[in-house]
Amino acid sequence: MSDTNPGSELAARAEALDAADPLGKLRDRFTLPEGVVYLDGNSLGALPAGVAARLAEVVTEQWGTRLIRSWTEGEANWWNAPERIGDRIAPLVGAAAGQVVVGDSTSVNLFKALVGAARLAAPGRTELLVDAATFPTDGYIAESAARMTGLRVVPVDPAAAAGAMGPDTAVVLLNHADYRTGRLHDLPALTAAAHAAGALVVWDLCHTAGALPVGLDAHAVDLAVGCTYKYLNGGPGAPAYLYVAARHQAAFDSPLPGWNGHADPFAMTPSYEAAQGVARARVGTPDILSMLALEAALDAWDGVAVDDVRAKSLALTDFFLDCVAAYVPAGKVELVTPTGHDQRASQVSLRTENADEVMRELISRGVIGDFRAPDVLRFGFTPLYVGFADAERAARALGHIFG
Amino acid sequence: MSDTNPGSELAARAEALDAADPLGKLRDRFTLPEGVVYLDGNSLGALPAGVAARLAEVVTEQWGTRLIRSWTEGEANWWNAPERIGDRIAPLVGAAAGQVVVGDSTSVNLFKALVGAARLAAPGRTELLVDAATFPTDGYIAESAARMTGLRVVPVDPAAAAGAMGPDTAVVLLNHADYRTGRLHDLPALTAAAHAAGALVVWDLCHTAGALPVGLDAHAVDLAVGCTYKYLNGGPGAPAYLYVAARHQAAFDSPLPGWNGHADPFAMTPSYEAAQGVARARVGTPDILSMLALEAALDAWDGVAVDDVRAKSLALTDFFLDCVAAYVPAGKVELVTPTGHDQRASQVSLRTENADEVMRELISRGVIGDFRAPDVLRFGFTPLYVGFADAERAARALGHIFG
């Protein structure tokens, strides 16, 4: 910490920023424990206020009392939940209705997306380009999808991805943000580059959806997947989603053609005929309790514009970086996240020695971020419930640990 | 209905049977609506009494208050839930611990099981034998697994399956019970026949697990899948499970190698190394709310022996058939379910004209079964919460409709 006391000035700035924050009142839509600064919403989003009551009603009334009838009756209408909730997520990722379906895990959806993309790709193309710094499950699933469709995985640094795309490229799999560094990749440019090379592109939105505008339709993305338990606050392991652009749906050929994706599921015919639309990406019976918890969680987005969320996210991370610079002695942490707004998602990653121990100490002081091996402290900023005073307090606690 | 009044005699028999039923008190472990006879537990099991409170605690405390820490800390320990709950299901299907993992849907698990089995099968074998009367999703997924592993699907009537197995048979997929007719297939004999032919066998236990002994280990089954929302009462769309016999685990090669199945998932290494044991069948982040609801639901099995459940199930369906014979005018319904105990699962299916309309009428009279196109009334008997008086009342209502 420097000799002058920056604390009172930064605390005053935080107070002013919070007072002027048009999204500040949204924090009331969440239940957060007293005294905790929660900067791990990029791993598990906080609990939206309406979820507990909705889930109690689902269990007691819809399941306990209406029983099997809730599959098709009334407001419950469990059967339609995957598409209905998909249409709630769609505007948050810049998709028109009818292109997003909820269910399964991100990994399972990625398998559907990659195999589906391989089958949509022009014949004769042999390569599946994969973000080499991707969240690991993407790489593992890509290997399996490649093995089962005859493609070859080619790992690429996203910064060099456009140059690696060529006439052999069938499909490109990229993460919208690097989960370790928080670097945001250029979705519009990389999507255009893939298309220019004649390839399809699959985007993983786990670390951006709900934190910044994605623009799936505007940028003509082919397929995308994402989880709902980070910035969408759907709960631990909440169902993931799959986006299949409308223009690809008629030819989308899922490797997991379960009965829920059938054109007439209750006819129970022995041969498979895919449903029209994105419903063909459904597989088995949807996990209703988790899915309806997610539906309730999405109420936290009522009236919220993603552009406003993005503006606050950048202001929050800018301010956090100012606070870190002021509170943490020089040389103790190294900023891993890009400083340019166009390259920053909604997290700040700091490299430091003994990062695991530092994070444990931070958590014991009520500041919850997370640790990613071997040496990264991650701080996620969820604009719906994180404020500027939280950012200031987190940086101050970090400074004390090194002080 | 016959001229004599069988009603009082059958009602008296029901009362005596209920009074002598050692499982009768288990009904208190479930929350059932007043005045309803629920014979659709083979589609969606009733709500166990402890689920609502447990789920409220999971949402409010584990998620809302402990947040990300619940993944690894204390009683919650979300990370271990798939194996922990698998070990709760294992004894219900005759499996020693460490062979059952919970997560994903039945369809997704079936894909893992079938592709995994194809990769375990002896080289050069070309056929995937599939129960031709199977629940449709099994057939659809089998076609996909065959397409992606180079096998050819050969549909077989389960009664003729043993004769169809030969030197070309790689894998056999069978349902333990026919979902339409309630016919129980001979798992020990068919498993032995598959092994005699040098093939592996995958069993679908959706319609038997929790209703009768399965004996996976005793009969040396290779792989099995099942849902948990029927006789296991896990809730709508509750996570399914996959059994991989211990002897196959080291070579089990999943087509969905998500990061949860990695030997060291938090090392986040770019290359996949499968975990030891059945954990390698895990894929993505487990659906915690649904999964912990299932865990609470399994408390209903505390101290319950599956053999006792089977004895009551047969007594219930025998008695229901007596009541149907007494109450329903001759020629109005045709019994589809086998009368032999060794061929009957835990449901009774009756074929009738206008079955859809008859079932709607039954439901309006408080007797909930279900309809399967084109002409089948299904009545599922869940011995944990269905009694003999329920069976008598259901048959009486059916008789009134035709009376």
The tens digit of pLDDT for each residue in A377-403 reads: 999 999 999 999 999 999 999 999 998
Which pLDDT does position B267 carry in this prediction?
A: 86
For A310-325, write each residue's pLDDT tens digit: 999 999 999 999 999 9
Residue B2 in domain: no
Which residue is closest to A49 within chain B, CA to CA? B64
Which pLDDT does position A3 carry in this prediction?
A: 46
pLDDT band, residue B268 (cuts 50/70/90): confident
Question: Given the structure tokens 């514009």, which residue do they identify?
Answer: A305
Which listed residue (B230, B280, B282, B310) is catalytic? B230
Q: Which domain holds residue B95?
A: 53-301
Q: Which residues of A337-349 are buried (b: 16+ CB within 10 A; e: fewer)?
A: beeeeebbbbbbb
Residue B42 in domain: no
pLDDT band, residue B1 (cuts 50/70/90): very low
Which pLDDT does position B4 carry in this prediction?
A: 54
Q: Is the pLDDT of residue A6 over 90?
A: no
Q: Are residues B75 and B128 in the same domain?
A: yes
Q: What average pLDDT score do residues B77-95 get?
A: 98
Between A and B, how many CB-CB pairs are < 8 A? 258
Whether residues B47 and A63 touch (CB distance < 8 A) is answered with: yes
Q: Is the pLDDT of residue A18 over 70?
A: yes
Last residue of a domain, one of B260, B281, B301: B301
CATH at B210: 3.40.640.10
Whether residues B60 and A31 touch (CB distance < 8 A) is answered with: yes
Q: What average pLDDT score do residues B201-229 get?
A: 98
Q: Is the pLDDT of residue B318 over 80?
A: yes
Four-CA torsion A34, A40, A44, A46, nearest 10 degrees: 30
For A193-234, write each residue's pLDDT tens digit: 999 999 999 999 999 999 999 999 999 999 999 999 999 999
pLDDT band, residue A4 (cuts 50/70/90): low
Which pLDDT does position B134 carry in this prediction?
A: 81
- B254: which chain A residues are within 8 Å (Cβ-Cβ)? 144
Residue B43 in domain: no
Q: Is the pLDDT of residue B7 over 80?
A: no
Q: What average pLDDT score do residues B81-107 get?
A: 98
Which pLDDT does position A2 carry in this prediction?
A: 45
Which pLDDT does position A178 carry in this prediction?
A: 94
Query: Is B114:B83 a contact under the CB 8 Å cutoff?
Result: no
Portion 28-47 of B in contact with A at CB < 8 A: 31-33, 36, 38, 40, 43-44, 46-47
Q: What is the 3-state secondary structure (H, E, C) of chain A?
A: CCCCCCHHHHHHHHHHHHHHCCCHHHHHHEECCCCCEECCCCCCCCEECCHHHHHHHHHHHHHHHCHHHHHCCCCCCHHHHHHHHHHHHHHHHCCCCCCEEECCCHHHHHHHHHHHHHHHCCCCCCEEEEECCCCHHHHHHHHHHHHHHCCEEEEECHHHHHHHCCCCEEEEEEECECCCCCEECCHHHHHHHHHHCCCEEEEECCCCCCCCCCCCCCCCCCEEEECCCCCCCCCCCCCCEEEECHHHHCCCCCCCCCHHHECCHHHCCCCCCECCHHHHHCCCCCCHHHHHHHHHHHHHHCCCCHHHHHHHHHHHHHHHHHHHHHHCCCCCCEECCCCCHHHECCEEEEECCCHHHHHHHHHHCCEECEEECCCEEEEECCCCCCCHHHHHHHHHHHHHHHC
Q: Are residues B126 and B260 in the same domain?
A: yes
Q: Is the pLDDT of residue A66 over 50?
A: yes
Residue at A254: amino acid letter = S
- B291: which chain A residues are within 8 Å (Cβ-Cβ)? 237
Which pLDDT does position B74 carry in this prediction?
A: 82
Task: Pick the closest to residue B56 from B232, B293, B294 (CA basis).
Answer: B293
pLDDT band, residue A294 (cuts 50/70/90): very high
A122 φ, ψ (degrees, to nearest 5): -60, 140
Residue A297 in domain: yes
Q: How far apart are the C-alpha atoms of B203 and B223, rounded to whole Å?
A: 7
Residue B176 in domain: yes
Q: Is the pLDDT of residue A160 over 80?
A: yes
Count other Cβ atoms within 10 Å, centred on residue B357: 12
For B129-151, write each residue's pLDDT tens digit: 999 988 889 999 999 999 999 99
Tokens representing B93 are 């299907």
B96 CB contacts (<8 Å, ≥6 apart)? B90, B217, B246
Q: Are residues A212 and A342 in the same domain?
A: no
Count other Cβ atoms within 10 Å, centred on residue A371: 18
- A107: which chain B residues are within 8 Å (Cβ-Cβ)? 256, 258-260, 283-284
Task: Pick the closest to residue A46 from B282, B63, B372 (CA basis).
Answer: B63
Tokens representing A261 are 């994706």
Q: Are residues A194 and A310 in the same domain?
A: no
Going from the C-alpha of B343 to that of each of A256, B159, B193, B352, the distances in angstroms are: 32, 11, 18, 21
Going from the C-alpha of A347 to that of each of A80, A305, B201, B296, the distances in angstroms are: 34, 19, 48, 36
Whether residues A144 and B255 touch (CB distance < 8 A) is answered with: yes
Last residue of a domain, one of B281, B301, B321: B301
Q: Are residues B238 and B197 in the same domain?
A: yes
ipTM confidence score: 0.96
Residue B150 in domain: yes
**A73 CB within 8 Å of a chain B CB:** no
Which pLDDT does position A373 carry in this prediction?
A: 87
Last residue of a domain, one of A271, A301, A331: A301
For A165-187, write each residue's pLDDT tens digit: 999 999 999 999 999 999 999 99
**B263 CB within 8 Å of a chain A CB:** no
Residue B181 in domain: yes
Q: Are residues B340 and B293 in the same domain?
A: no
Mean of the per-residue pLDDT values for chain B?
96
Q: Are residues B252 and B268 in the same domain?
A: yes
Q: Are residues A151 and A101 in the same domain?
A: yes
Q: Are residues A98 and A180 in the same domain?
A: yes
- Tally of domains within chain B: 2
Which pLDDT does position A1 carry in this prediction?
A: 43
Q: What is the DSSP string of B322-344?
A: HHHHHHSPTTS-EE-S-SSGGGB
Residue A27 in domain: yes
Q: Is the pLDDT of residue B3 over 50?
A: no
Going from the C-alpha of B72 to that of each of A151, B76, B77, B263, B271, the distances in angstroms are: 37, 7, 5, 16, 24
Q: What average pLDDT score do residues B73-84 get?
A: 93
Q: Are residues A291 and A312 in the same domain?
A: no
Q: Are residues B380 and B352 in the same domain?
A: yes
Which residue is closest to B153 within chain A, CA to CA? A271
CATH at B374: 3.90.1150.10
Whether residues B288 and A236 touch (CB distance < 8 A) is answered with: yes
Q: Are residues A67 and A155 in the same domain?
A: yes
pLDDT band, residue A329 (cuts 50/70/90): very high
pLDDT band, residue B232 (cuts 50/70/90): very high
